[in-house]
Amino acid sequence: MTDTFKELDHPARLLMGPGPINVHPRVLRAMSVQLLGQFDPEFTGYMNEVMALYRGVFQTANRWTFVVDGTSRAGIEAALVSTLSPGDDVVVVNAGRFGLLLAEIAERCDAKVTFVEGEWGQVVDPQAVEDAVKRVKPRLVACVHGDTSTTIAQPIEAIGEICRRHDALLYVDATATLGGMSVPVDNWQADIVTAGLQKCMGGPSGSAPITISDRAADHIFSRRHVEKGLAGPGMTGNGRRIASNYFDLAMIMDYWSDKRLNHHTEAASMLFAARECARIVLEEGLEARFARHAEAGAAMVAGIEALGLTVYGDQAHKMTNVTGVIAPAGVDYDRVKARMRTEFEIEIGAAFGPLAGKIWRIGTMGVNARKHAVLQTLAALEAVLRWEGFAAPAGAGVDAAAKVFA
């Protein structure tokens, strides 16, 4: 007989890494409701509600605001493959792992990538972006808002203005900031912005909110080709066909429009999760939510510094919801992270690429952007660091953080 293994029954872990984080209980409940057929009027009603809710979350009037089924990079890939044709120029603003991911995906679209590079831990100068845009005249500029690999948030407004002036489309990956820091899509003049649920939106990964300006939608629809088995008489395609079926935004928008042209089977439980995440965000209020994330982040920084540790990166542009902690000399980087889990059931994040083994990344996002999660994490970190031979002053981290909340 095949072993069926035991029912899922793991310890309740506090997820304080840079995502995924603990899911809001209301979102878990929404995911457990019974399914509906994807053309059921009740269900298409939910789809329309999701569009309306995410207009609020993205601070936009964009008609084309919906979710792509898949993790955050499904949104990224859909945005890039649906706008870029082979040979198109794209300027990638890069100062971290996720900037490199944008370039990698653009290259797979056979676009020509021009980098505007910043050092990890710093932001990129908008003037350098403008110089590149003037020189290259790209179809698209691609940029990350908050790059969790470095904990730094790139100011977008100046880049949006540059893109409008030079008639380039602007794509922004706001996966790590949506619902935690302001993502004012219309004020940014951004054309396509995508995200995920597993960071500040407080949900599981698996659904990628996306918003698309009319001018970006016009460009995408100039490449619309209805799938063969669905096309009626007179439905011929135009432009170069988008290189992915699953991520073809022209087809996905036809599915989310009143036409309801079938594409994939909407991932209903993820749609319910995305809907509940947005309801929670808007009920709390955007400003209150951003303030809560800023306060929790400030408390984490105060606690880390009081423990005698150094926070990584340009503090003037640090994301409020992730803190990079430079591992002090003499402690075992991996063992500190492991003991946070084995002794305290707390997960913190490691780092990638040039920062691997050098900084831990601690998130304060969604339901975990609150006092008890910050204080528990600091108390645990202090103990683990002492066990590993680093003389963290007893109680100092918790005291400093508690003061920020007081």
Ligand X SMILES: *Cc1c(COP(=O)(O)O)cnc(C)c1O
| Site of interaction with ligand X (CB under 6 A) | 19, 71-73, 98, 144, 147-148, 173, 175-176, 196, 205
Nearer to ligand X, 65 or 207 (CB): 207
Closest approach of ligand X to the CB of residue 198, in Å: 6
Cα–Cα distance for residue pair 121/132, rounded to 1 Å: 21
Burial of 219-248, coded b for 16+ CB within 10 Å and e otherwise, reads bbbebbbbeeeeeeeeeeeeeeebbbeebb
Task: State the minimum distance, in angstroms, from the CB of residue 372 to ligand X.
Answer: 24
Between 205 and 323, name the residue whose CB sits nearer to ligand X. 205
**Closest distance between ligand X and the C-beta of residue 70, in Å?**
8
Cα–Cα distance, 8 to 329 (Å, whole number) = 39
Please state the closest distance from residue 149 (CB atom) to ligand X, in A: 7
Residue (124 or 384) nearer to ligand X, CB: 124
Q: CB nearer to ligand X: give 227 or 314.
A: 314
CA distance linking residue 79 with residue 210, whole number of Å: 9
* Minimum CB–partner distance for residue 347 and ligand X (Å): 14
Compare residues 98 and 272 and give the one whose CB is closer to ligand X. 98
What single-letter amino acid sits at 301? V
Q: How many CA atoms lie within 13 A of 304 on its CB side?
A: 23
Are 50 and 66 within 8 A, CB to CB?
Answer: yes
Residue spans of beta strands (DSSP E) within 57-159: 64-69, 89-94, 112-117, 140-144, 146-147, 152-153
Minimum distance between the CB of residue 253 and ligand X, rounded to whole angstroms? Answer: 21
For residue 152, CA distances in Å to 208, 369, 394 come to 21, 18, 30
207-212 and 89-94 beta bridge pairing: unpaired
Residue placing its CB nearer to ligand X in the complex, 150 or 377: 150
